[in-house]
């Protein structure tokens, strides 16, 4: 062997130095993910409240077993109780029923029917002169079968309160039995509510009426399309706050 050959320096004993840095990194990552896991929790009671309120409001949800979580320590996302999904199902069902049973009429007034999800409510809007003639509170005869079918669907497929609200544009009432838009809106809401009670066999305890006149517009009253949208009756499915019940109260008078 040549005397000019250099010998390899001896290696350090133990693991390479980079392993120490790598081990520190792994420890930090482990602590980080443990910290994330500790921040996540399964609020079972809150989930039950959400599930119960949606079931009560719409009555179309199947009961869910919430005793077990798919991943302990992680929040459960209840997609089945998404309000928009509920509204979409209701909209599709009502739309399909109306289209199949009232094909010609439905196509004629399709632009005057809207269904919207808002928080824990589903709102069915009948707009323009599709339901009432101008200045009147009598349901058009051709619309009665369609409103009846809507009522039957709500009676069978939902379990929440049904609020009928009347609205008008800001054009003052001229002539007729109603002295103001407010009185006209109240009368129209009451007419639809009474029709549903008489014909759709809805539990009267579920039904209430409201009249707002021109004070709650959803469109610009300066244009005819806007005024047409504001002249509407809304059928709202949701949950109204209940007054505190009185123990032992009875509607029936008793003799002393």
pLDDT of residue 131: 92
Residues of the chain with pLDDT under 50: 42, 47, 50, 53-54, 57-81, 246-256
Question: Taken in order 11, 13, 15, 17, is the CA torsion positive or negative?
Answer: negative
Residue 245, domain member (yes or no): no
Residue 59, domain member (yes or no): no
pLDDT of residue 87: 64
Residue 227, domain member (yes or no): yes
Q: Other C-beta atoms within 10 Å of 81: how many?
A: 20
Residue 128, domain member (yes or no): yes
**Would you say 207 and 162 are in contact if contact means Cβ atoms under 8 Å apart?**
yes
Residue 21, domain member (yes or no): no
Instruction: Give me Rg for the CA atoms of the chain.
Output: 31
Q: In terms of DSSP bridges, do strands 161-167 and 232-238 run parallel, antiparallel, or are they unpaired?
A: antiparallel
CATH number where 94 lies = 3.30.1330.60
Q: pLDDT, tens digit, for every residue of 76-109?
A: 333 344 566 666 677 677 778 877 887 777 778 8
Residue 72, domain member (yes or no): no
Domain extent, residue 220, equals 83-238
Q: pLDDT, tens digit, for every residue of 164-179?
A: 999 999 999 988 899 9
pLDDT of residue 220: 95
pLDDT of residue 249: 47
Alpha helices in 40-82 (DSSP H): 44-58
- pTM over cut 0.75: no
Residue 65, domain member (yes or no): no
| Total count of domains within the chain | 1
Residue 13, domain member (yes or no): no
pLDDT of residue 121: 77
């Amino acid at each position: 062997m040549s005397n000019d050959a250099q010998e390899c320096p001896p290696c350090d004993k133990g693991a390479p130095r980079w392993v120490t840095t790598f081990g520190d990194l792994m420890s930090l990552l482990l602590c980080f993910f443990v910290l994330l896991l500790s921040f996540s929790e399964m609020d079972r009671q809150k989930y039950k409240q959400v599930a119960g309120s949606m079931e009560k409001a719409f009555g179309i949800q199947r009961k869910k077993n919430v005793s077990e979580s798919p991943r302990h320590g992680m929040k459960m996302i209840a997609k089945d109780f998404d309000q928009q999904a509920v509204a979409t199902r209701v909209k599709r069902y009502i739309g399909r029923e109306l289209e199949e049973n009232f094909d010609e009429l439905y196509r004629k007034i399709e632009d005057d029917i809207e269904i919207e999800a808002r928080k824990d409510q589903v709102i069915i809007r009948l707009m323009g002169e599709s339901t009432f003639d101008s200045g009147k509170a009598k349901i058009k005869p051709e619309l009665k079968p369609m409103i009846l079918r809507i009522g039957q669907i709500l009676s069978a497929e939902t379990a929440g309160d049904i609020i009928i609200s009347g609205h008008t544009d800001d054009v003052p009432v001229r002539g007729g039995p109603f002295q103001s838009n407010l009185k006209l809106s109240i009368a129209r809401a009451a007419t639809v509510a009474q029709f549903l009670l008489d014909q759709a066999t809805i539990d009267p305890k579920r039904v209430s009426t409201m009249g707002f006149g021109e004070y709650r517009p959803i469109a610009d009253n300066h244009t005819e399309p806007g005024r047409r949208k504001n002249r509407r009756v809304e059928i709202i499915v949701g949950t109204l706050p209940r007054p505190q019940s009185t123990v032992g109260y009875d509607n029936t008078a008793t003799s002393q």
